[in-house]
Amino acid sequence: MPAALKILIDVAVFRLKKLEMANIPTAVAIMIALGLAPLDMAVRFCFGLLLNILAYLTNDYYDVDQDLESPNKDHAKARYLKDHMRAAAGAQIGFALFLAAMAVFWSPGLLVPLVAGGGICWIYSWKLKRYPYVDVFAMIVWGITMPLVGLPLDRALGWLLLGQAALFSACFESIQIIRDYDEDAAKGVRTTAVRLGIPGTRILLYGFMAVSAAYSALFIHRYIGLVLFASMLIPLDTKKVSDYWNRQRFVMGIVLLALIGWIIWTGHTDGWILSVDRDAVFESLAGLAG
């Protein structure tokens, strides 16, 4: 098997086993809410899957030395990548060119998540993840740009759902940097958690949860998102952060599905401030801005 292909397969299998790539279900949920055609959904799904593999390969490429030292990583995968860095670099370039051609052929709007989502992942993996506060902000941008594969860019409803996804990403990133606190602190990596400490980062996390709930109530549905306030009651054991992460992803996933279900059933959102029809374009937000 060519080294580049094995590296790509290893990245995909490892991330899927860890139940990552959560932006793909988010993109699918948005596509369903918008009522996209099945073929369009299938192409966008494949594009999103490949884009995620590219993004995670980029992350593994820059973190390979750290992964070789971490007790929580697949050392065999990291060692193979370390021994085939040229093949890994070639795989990234080839994947990016293939995705660009796919976007031009099917929908040029897909170039936006490719450039913005892939770009933020590259610069995050290269530099930003080592800067406090910027690391969390970068993941908010990630939470917007990656699920962009799931919507035509003129659909207002899709952008409202992306806002919810971005806030979820902020919550997930806050949990992850708490999970990695000991390892990052030992290696002198100045993440937000290292700068604020666990108590301060916990407050930041709860703040993102509260904003997520308020956003949902104001713009998508008056009551469904309020369940997110209850998620703040789930105890956070710093020794079992991965379990806590999975519980929060479950709660937020259920909330997102409920919001999508409401939109499919009624054909519109029902927030305290804004109600947007499923087929609405940007003009539907102009009145609110004015």
pLDDT tens for each residue of 210-253: 999 999 999 999 998 888 888 888 888 888 888 898 888 888 88
Structural domains in the chain plus CATH codes: 1-108 (no CATH), 154-285 (1.20.120.1780)
pLDDT tens per residue, range 131-179: 788 878 887 887 788 888 888 888 888 888 989 988 988 898 899 889 8
Start-end of H helices in 63-191: 64-69, 75-83, 85-106, 111-112, 118-126, 134-145, 156-179, 181-186
pLDDT digits 0-9 by tens, 4-61: 778 777 777 777 777 667 788 888 988 998 889 999 999 999 999 889 888 888 888 8
Do the Cβ atoms of 242 and 179 come closer than 8 Å? yes
- Whose CA is closest to 110, among 158, 47, 173? 47
The answer, yes or no, to whether residue 190 has pLDDT greater than 90, is no
Give the integer Cα–Cα distance in Å for 119 and 138.
11
pTM, 2 dp: 0.80
